[in-house]
Amino acid sequence: MHAMVLNGKGGDLEWTELAERRPGPGQIRVRVTACGVCRTDLHVLDGELPNQQFPIIPGHEIVGRINAMGAGVEGFKVGERVGIPWLGHTCGHCSYCLSGEENLCDHPVFTGYTRDGGFATATIADARWAFPLGEAGSDVALAPLLCAGLIGWRSLVIAGDGKKIGLYGFGAAAHIIAQVAKWQGRSVFAFTRPGDAATQTFARSLGATWAGGSDEMPPEPLDAAIIFATVGDLVPLALKAVRKGGRVVCAGIHMSDIPSFPYRLLWEERKLVSVANLTRQDGLDFLHLAPEIGIVMKTTSYPLIQANQALADLRAGRFEGAAVLVP
């Protein structure tokens, strides 16, 4: 097999030939057909997450087909198309797992961060954390759903049932969740980098009621706001934009420091919460609904060997929607 391997903090990924790996008990081996490029991959590349290990194969928006199964795997067959998400394993016995909060597991394994991921021609995955994808839709279009879609979905659920939803940072996740919110009958207010007219036009083309810079206030108070951008300075701005009793959801695994802000922005029962990972039920719920919603996926494809270019383009904001590597 071949993979793009990260050997140290801040370095480029290196094209590497590796021995074919065999799945252990409860595991499957997946021939990767597409893998999305996520902002979290940049955090892995930059060494911004705790307990980083090297070498590591990044990538956690994996679509592929099972080509080998370990002992004890049930419910799958060789040749079946599956998706592999960010949260790749949970212990099943800590208090969080036992109370239905497996996304907060005390002993998790993360795909492309603490376990090798999908920037490769094949990967090993825990079968319990593989989602059947069926045959509808292209591999490239499905890949971003495995993180941008799933984390966006969980964020939208946690944001509540409000009708006016603000999305700060209109990248891969927001361009998916804007369509979900619109399908649910909500109004979407898109916040982009100040002056980014192209992305604002893109947001409106996906049904956004309003689109403007993150330094602007929306034309009316929001019921909730989801912050997909990794910029802590957006938190006070989002709190200022939501109504009394409104909710601000921080959707990223990493964010720059949140600056101090006056208590009056939080007062009147506004709420500031974060989202961590996903549960298997999140995955089943969202991936079941996705075909019905009819999400239009905006993707830019790169050959696997061009993973460094895809990451650089993501960092610079050179494309709309999501980037996907194709082995």
User: Domains, the chain, ranges and CATH?
Assistant: 2-135+297-326 (3.90.180.10), 149-274 (3.40.50.720)
Identify the pLDDT of residue 1: 96
**Count of other CB atoms within 10 angstroms of residue 315:** 12
Task: State residue 52's pLDDT score.
Answer: 86
Q: Decide: 181 and 161 in contact? Cβ < 8 Å.
A: no
Q: What's the pLDDT band for 155 if we cut at 50, 70, 90?
A: very high
Report the alpha-carbon distance of residue 18 to residue 32 in Å, rounded.
Answer: 15
Partners of 125 in beta bridges: 28
Q: Which stretches does DSSP call E strand in the chain?
A: 2-5, 14-17, 27-37, 61-69, 81-84, 87-89, 109-110, 122-126, 131-132, 164-168, 187-192, 210-213, 222-227, 242-250, 271-274, 299-303, 322-326
What are phi and psi for residue 224, nearest 5 degrees?
A: -160, 160
Return d(Cα 279, Cα 6) in angstroms, integer. 27
Buried residues in 121-154 as b, exposed as e (16+ CB within 10 A) = bbbbbbbebbbebeeebebbbbbbbbbbbbbbbb
Q: Judge whether 199 and 170 are in contact, CB under 8 Å.
A: yes
Picking from 239, 201, 232, 197, the residue whose alpha carbon sits closest to that of residue 218 is 239
What percent of the chain lies above the pLDDT cut of 70?
A: 100
The alpha carbon torsion through 44, 45, 47, 53 (nearest 10 deg) reads: 70
- Please say if the pLDDT value at position 164 is more than 90: yes
Mean pLDDT of 286-294: 94
Taking residue 107's Cβ as centre, other Cβ atoms within 10 Å add up to: 12
pLDDT at residue 102, as a whole number: 97
Find the length of the chain.
327
User: What does the pLDDT average to over 166-179?
Assistant: 96
**Average pLDDT along the chain:** 96
Q: What is the pLDDT of residues 48-82, one digit of tens each?
A: 999 888 999 999 999 999 999 999 999 999 999 99
CB-neighbour burial class of residue 1 (10 A; exposed 0-12, middle 13-18, buried 19+): middle
Lowest mean pLDDT among 51-55, 91-95, 158-162: 51-55
pLDDT for res 53: 86
The whole-number pLDDT of residue 42 equals 95
